[in-house]
Structure 1
Amino acid sequence: MKYKPHQYQEYATERILDTNYIALLLEMGLGKTVSTLTAIDRLLNDYFDAARVLVIAPLRVADDTWAREVEKWDHLQHLRISKVLGSVGARRKALKSEADIYVINRENVEWLVSEYGNRWPFDTVVIDELSSFKNSNSKRFRALRRVRPMMKRVIGLTGTPAPNSLMDLWPQIYLLDQGERLGKTITGFRDRYFNPGARSGHVVYEWKQKKEAEQRIYEAISDIAVSMKAEDWLELPERIDRIVPVKLSQEARELYKKLERDLLLEYVDADVVANTAAVLSNKLRQMASGAVYDEDRGVKEIHKAKLDALEDIIEAAQGKPVMVFYDFKHSFERIQQRFPQARTLRKGKDGNEDIRAWNNDEIPLLLLHPKSAGHGLNLQESSSQTIVWYDQIWSLEEDQQANARVHRQGQTRRIVVMRLVAEGTMDQETVDALERKATGQNELMEAVKARIQKVRGA
């Protein structure tokens, strides 16, 4: 296919070429992969400013998306891609093969760093979904930090740079500029921009932004962060978000309140126990969805209200496919039991066949977990117009990425996102928390948004 880039894609490619380390905060559907590949091709073959390129990505994206984009576009088909995936032996063989771009999943970053040590060979590194390095204590961040000085260029790609708070930004920006803008340590970053809030002894559980911290952070990173929002550049069909209230039976409400109050539900075979606040929160979310794990990992069913609500939605879809996101395994199993026609995405080549089947309306009900289906999947070609969140989740990043599998460039139909919210439960608090997080992230995206027309007109 002949590549005819949009103006924003040309701008993104130019910024990569002009900036040795850059964060492209491109919302889903803006074609960040082809824009980046176009820049890599020029760096390799026109400017001779890159010799060995590494792409770090989520597993499914590493296995499929980058190679598929190379095959799709005429101007990129000469690029050779080696997938550093699978067993240790397979990975080592892939690293020894002649290629222009080596693609590895983020879980194997630590292994790759230990494999090369001070002989790190990649002068250009692309981190697809930069926000997956938002935890400064994670092994993958620490490993990449060790070899960062040996990289000439770093390109960070994400549509959700601050899924929880601005605290998430420090590790991501550090991997770009090695602490030049936001400080060399997370401690220094916190001291500069945040005040300690809730604590237990010397342990701080909450950090509150100082006055004008947001503006100062935005200004500090504005020269290496380019933000683009899909609504500014794409004529996407309407997306409607709906809360579907789910009323629980009196018995289910009483069980819910009992666990909330007593931290215990007694059963003959195995009890349901919540001995910490985190466990309680998780158990209450499970109960809101209709079942809960006991101490022996058995499943205690609480109600069928959400299954009934989902049945109504499927019937109202009038034969069109419906996509359902779940968080708990017991939700998946209970949905499959009620709706035998439900399918999920398998791994590897079987998963690619499932994607084809979904896009050709051969799967009437698709069940997806946001962690495994959040990145790199193009599922917008089916006639489906309905996304259902059966379980409510805390992660803004997973929520936005998952919804963007359907509501993205190439979609021609109006999309309705429905959230099944059990009344008087943690579901409502979870949805409210997502809305608050979205507000903070939107402010960041606006603050560093690329003013392309202004730049071009200067």
Structure 2
Amino acid sequence: MQYTPHVYQDHFSELIMDKPAVAGFLDMGLGKSVSTLTAIAELLHNCFEVERVLVIAPLRVAKYTWQDEIEKWDHTSYLKLSKILGTEKQRIAALKTNADIWVINRENVTWLVKYFGSRWPFDMVVIDESSSFKSHKAQRFKALRKVRPLIKRIVELTGTPAPNNLLDLWPQIYLLDRGERLGRTITAYRDSYFEPDKRNGHIVYSWRPKPGAEEAIYAKIADICVSMKAKDWLQLPPRIDNVIKVSLEPAIKKLYKQLERDLLLPYAGGDVIAVQAADLSNKLLQLANGAIYDENKAVRVIHDSKLDALEEIIEASANGNPVMVFYWYKHDLTRLQQRFPHARTLDSTKDVKAWNSGKIPLLLVHPASAGHGLNLQAGGNIIVWFGLTWSLELYEQANARLDRQGQTKSVIVHHLVAAGTVDEDVMKALQNKATGQDALMAAVRSRICEVQKIKAA
């Protein structure tokens, strides 16, 4: 296919060629991959600025997306790609293969750094979905930090650079400039721009930006980061978001309230830490979906209300059009497959092609496995969230599989929300774009207060 770039794509390609370190905070569907490949081809074979390029990406993106993008465009189809995937023997063989670009999944970055050490051979590194390097404690960040002085050029790509809060920015920016703009340590960054928020004595559980901090941070990184929103550059059909309230039978409501009280009351007299809040939320979200894991990891089916609601959408609202369903728990998938035996999952490139060809009427997808890189917009325009997620990043990335450049219809996103459950808290947080640990903690504390009031009454 002949490449006719948009103005913003040309601009981003030029930035990559002009700057040794640059981050593209580009919305999903803006063509980050082809813009980057265009610059890589120029730097490799016209400017002779680099010799070996490494792309770090989520596993599914590393397996399929970069190869597909290279083959798709006439000006990049000659580039040779080697995939550093599979067993250690297969990864080593891939490293020895003659290529222009090598791609590796982010889970193997630590292994790669150990394998080469000071003999690190890649003078250009592209981090696809750099938000996966948002934790300064993660081994992948620490490993890449060691070899950063040996990297001549680095590019970061993501649509969600700070999915939880602005603290997520520091590791990503550090890999670009080694601490020049936001400080050489996370502590220095935090002390400069944040103040304690929730705490228990000397233990700080969360941080909030100081007044004016957000503007100051963005000003510091403006010269090496470019942010582009799809709505500013693309004329996409309007997206329709629909919240479908799912009523639970009185007996199920009673069971939910009992579980909520049993889980929440032990913490009513003290602080709830993040790990506990996540556990509490998980149990309640499971029951809202219709099943729950017991203490022996066995699945206890409680109700089919969401399955009934999904069936109604498929039969009435979809009118025979393909539907993509996002689930969260394994027992969700099992129950979905039992109710809809014809449903398919994304297990290979054949499944992707089948969906885009309109051959799969019902596709079951976990947002963490298809949240990045897959172009599925040709296969349909209807999404149903069977089970919700607190992760704003996964939520937005998952929706962008259909709501992206090339989509010709309005994308309809249905959210199945069990009335009177924690589903409502998650939905509210998603709508306010305030998801993550802070929203989860706030929701749990709010429910503790409600339970205490009911008990007191």
Relative to the length of structure 2, the TM-score reads: 0.91
Shift of residue 428, structure 1, vs aligned partner = 1.1
Alignment of 1:129 onto 2:125: no
Q: What is the SS of the residue equivalent to 2:169?
A: helix
1:404 aligns with 2:410: no
Q: Which residue of 2 aligns with 1:453?
A: none
**Which residue identity does 1:231 align to in structure 2?**
K
Q: Which residue of 1 aligns with 2:339?
A: 338
Distance across 1 between alignment mates of 2:201 and 2:418: 36
Asked if residue 300 in structure 1 is aligned to residue 300 in structure 2, the reply is yes
Amino acid aligned to 2:353: R
RMSD: 1.5
- How many Å separate the matches in 1 of 2:176 and 2:276? 38
Aligned residues: 426
Matching residue of 1:452:
none
Hey, what does 1:456 align to over in structure 2?
Answer: none
Task: Summarize the alignment of residues 161-240 of structure 1 with structure 2, pairs less than 5 Å apart.
Answer: 161-240=161-240
Q: CA deviation at 1:276?
A: 3.4
Residue 18 of structure 2 is matched in structure 1 by: 18
- Aligned pairs for 1:216-365 (under 5 A) are 216-263=216-263, 276-316=276-316, 317-346=318-347, 351-365=348-362
The residue type equivalent to 1:387 in the other structure is: I
Contact residue 165 and residue 437 of structure 1 kept, 8 A:
no
CA displacement 1:19-65 (0-9 Å, x = unmatched): 11011011111111010000011111111111111000011111111
CA distance in 1, matches of 2:48, 2:435: 42
Whichever residue aligns with residue 243 of structure 1, its letter is: V
Aligned partner (choices 367, 381, 395) of residue 391 of structure 2: 395
Gaps in structure 2 of 5+ consecutive residues: 265-274, 437-457
Shift of residue 252, structure 1, vs aligned partner: 1.1
Question: 1:278 Cα shift?
Answer: 2.5
1:381 equivalent to 2:382? Answer no
- Residue 27 of structure 2 contacts residue 229 of structure 2 at CA under 8 Å; is this kept in 1? yes
Structure 1: distance between partners of 2:433 and 2:187: 23
Q: Determine which of 415, 418, 426 is the counterpart of 2:414.
A: 418
- In structure 2, the residue matched to 1:429 is 425
Q: How does 1:69-218 map to 2 (within 5 A)?
A: 69-218=69-218
Q: Distance in 2 between matches of 1:40 and 1:259?
A: 55
Opposite residue 246 of structure 1, the aligned amino acid is: V
What one-letter code is carried by the residue in structure 2 that aligns with 1:331? D
Q: Flag structure 1 segments of 5+ consecutive residues without an equivalent.
A: 265-274, 441-458
Distance in structure 1 (CA, Å) of the matches to 2:7 and 2:103: 27
Task: Provide the secondary structure at the position in 1 that maps to 2:373.
Answer: coil
- Give the CA deviation at 1:436: 3.1
Cα deviation, residue 378, structure 1 = 1.1
Cα distance in 1 for partners of 2:118, 2:204 equals 36
Structure 1 residues 35 and 277: CA distance shift in structure 2, 3 A: closer
- 1:429 is aligned with what amino acid? D
Q: CA–CA distance in 1 between the matches of 2:79 and 2:331? A: 44
Q: What is the CA deviation profile of residues 124-151 of structure 1, one whole-angstrom value per residue up to 9, with x for unaligned ones?
A: 0000000010111111111111111111
Give the AA of the match of 1:102.
W
CA distance in 2, matches of 1:104, 1:364: 33
Q: CA deviation at 1:79?
A: 1.1
2:164–2:435 Cα contact (<8 Å) kept: no
Secondary structure class of the residue paired with 1:256: helix
- Separation in structure 1 between the aligned mates of residue 176 and residue 251 of structure 2, nearest angstrom: 54
For residue 63 of structure 1, what is the amino acid of its counterpart? K
Contact 2:390–2:435 (Cα < 8 Å) also in 1? no
Cα distance, 1:439 vs structure 2: 9.8
1:328 is displaced (CA, Å) by 0.6
Cα distance in 1, alignment partners of residues 194 and 300 from structure 2: 43
TM-score by length of 1: 0.91
2:444 maps to: none
Residues 353 and 341 from structure 1, CA distance in 2 versus in 1: closer, same or farther, beyond 3 angstroms?
A: same
**Match of 1:276, SS?**
helix
Are 2:369 and 1:372 aligned?
yes
Pairwise CA distance, 1:233: 0.8
Q: Secondary structure at the match of 1:140?
A: helix
Deviation at residue 201 of structure 1 after TM alignment: 3.9
Tell me how far 1:438 sits from its aligned partner: 6.0
SS state at 1:244 partner: strand
SS in 1 for 2:83: strand
The sequence identity of aligned pairs, in percent, is: 61
